[in-house]
Each structure stands twice: as structure tokens, then as C-alpha cells.
Amino acid sequence: MSIEVIGAGFGRTGTLSLKMALEQLAFTKCYHMHDLFAHPGHAETWTAIAQGNPANWPALFNGYRALVDWPCAYFWRELSDYYPQAKIVLTVRDANDWYDSIEQTIFTVINRSFPEGATQPQLPKNASPVAAAQISMAKLMIADNLFSGRLEDRQHCIAVYEQHNAEVQRSLPAERLLVYNVCEGWSPLCHFLGTAEPDTAFPRSNSKREFLSAMD
């Protein structure tokens, strides 16, 4: 089994809805940040890759047909090169709306887990080792590497977001890339992937309230 679809969009651009849509379209299974909870050791593997260690993509994605969200989107270029037949979906939304969403969800959880001066995540006593490894990976990859620790700097984060989206579009041929807002529903996604449109409503998931409830 090889990877057929790669999501290059940042977290909080509808990536969980896209995962659910792809799985409904039979691209099962689709790897998402949520999947790390089901795979102890994956967060540590991603941390090692982010630190420059070589990646064994087929072993990491065994049983998967699609990839979306971080940490995969962080390595969109490497993955699109490794899987040259895969189609790329760049999920996008209004930049200010995106920052408002990520600041109130992912950034809030990272900051809460790593208060000033903390080098290890400060989590509830009943938190699992998998959760600790996952938030440590997110801090390294997202907060430190991607946004240079400047999570409260709206303009900086938006500039990183817009630069990423522009770089994906510059780097990939138009026939391989779909720039996609999940609010557009099934039609552009199904047309791009060559699948029939389901009769059911497009999935909507992972609102700010749902995200924060899952973290409590």
C-alpha cells in the first residue's frame, strides 16, 4: 500500500474534516495528528526526524493511504518527493481566522504545557506517556522550529502561514495540487481525486470547543 493523498495544509485549516472526508471516499486509513495516540512511539519517531534523523516513511505509514495535518504537513516537501504519484491537497482559510483558531487551540495547549522556563511538559498526573511525547513533539516542530517560538506574534505567524502556502503552490505542478477550503464541500475534492460525490453531507469536525474538550 502506498500513499495516494498528502495534505500540505497547516493545522486548524480543516485537516480533521479532510481526514474524515478522505476516509469516506475510501482513502482509508488517513494519518492525522490524532493517530499518534494510537501509535505509541510515533511521536518520538517524529521528534527524531525533526532533529535530522533519517525517516523510514513506509514503516511509519504502514496501512495508510493518505496523510494530513501536522506532523506530516511539516514534511510536505519530503513526502511529496518520496511519493511522486501522490496528489497534494493544500487546505487554506482566511489568515486572520486561522490565527485566531490556532492561537486559541494548539498554541494554548503548548503554552499551558510548557510554562516559562519549563523544559519538560507540565501535564496532569494522569496524562499518558504518549500525550507527553506528543506535546513535546508539537512544541519542537510547531512552536520552536516553524514559528520560532513567537506564538503570540500574530503578524509573524500569519507571515509564516502565508509563506508556506505560497511555497507549496510555487513548488508543485497545478495538475498535482488542489488548493482547497473545506467550506467548498465535496465537489472540488472529488473532482480532483476522480471520485464520485457522496450523497451525505461533507464532514465537519474539530471545532475550537471540540479541540479544547479533547485536551482536558
What number is the average pLDDT over the span 151-174?
A: 98
C-beta neighbour count of 7 within 10 angstroms: 28
Burial class from Cβ neighbours inside 10 Å (0-12, 13-18, 19+) for residue 23 reads: middle
Distance between CA atoms of residues 124 and 164, nearest Å? 34
pLDDT at site 60: 97
Tell me the pLDDT tens digit for each residue of 19-55: 999 999 999 999 999 999 899 999 999 999 999 999 9
Q: Assign 177 to helix, strand or coil.
A: strand
Highest mean pLDDT among 43-47, 124-128, 129-133: 43-47
Q: pLDDT class for 124, splitting at 50, 70, 90?
A: confident
State the pLDDT confidence band at 184, using cuts at 50, 70 and 90. very high
Report the candidate in 184, 182, 183, 186 with the shortest Cα–Cα distance to residue 199: 186
Tell me how far apart the alpha carbons of residues 214 and 216 are, in angstroms, rounded to a whole number: 6
SS3 27: coil
Taking residues 167-180, report their average pLDDT: 98
Question: How many domains, the chain?
Answer: 1
Q: What is the mean pLDDT of the chain?
A: 93
Coil/strand/helix, residue 116: coil
Q: Which domain holds residue 40?
A: 5-215
Cα–Cα distance measured from residue 180 to residue 8, given in angstroms and rounded to the nearest whole number: 10
By the 8 A CB rule, do 111 and 100 touch?
A: no
Q: Which amino acid is at 187?
A: S
DSSP codes joined into one string, 58-94: HHHTTT-SEE-STTGGGGHHHHHHHSTT-EEEEE---
CATH of the domain at 70: 3.40.50.300
Is the N-terminal amide bond of 71 cis, ω within 30° of 0?
yes
Mean pLDDT calculated for residue range 116-137: 88
Percent of the chain scoring above 70 in pLDDT: 94
Q: Measured between alpha carbons, how far is residue 116 from residues 66, 122, 148 in Å?
A: 37, 11, 15
How high is the pLDDT of residue 129? Answer: 87
Taking only the tens place, the pLDDT of each residue in 200-216 is 999 987 555 555 455 44
Q: What is this structure's pTM? A: 0.93
Contact 13, 91 (CB under 8 A): yes
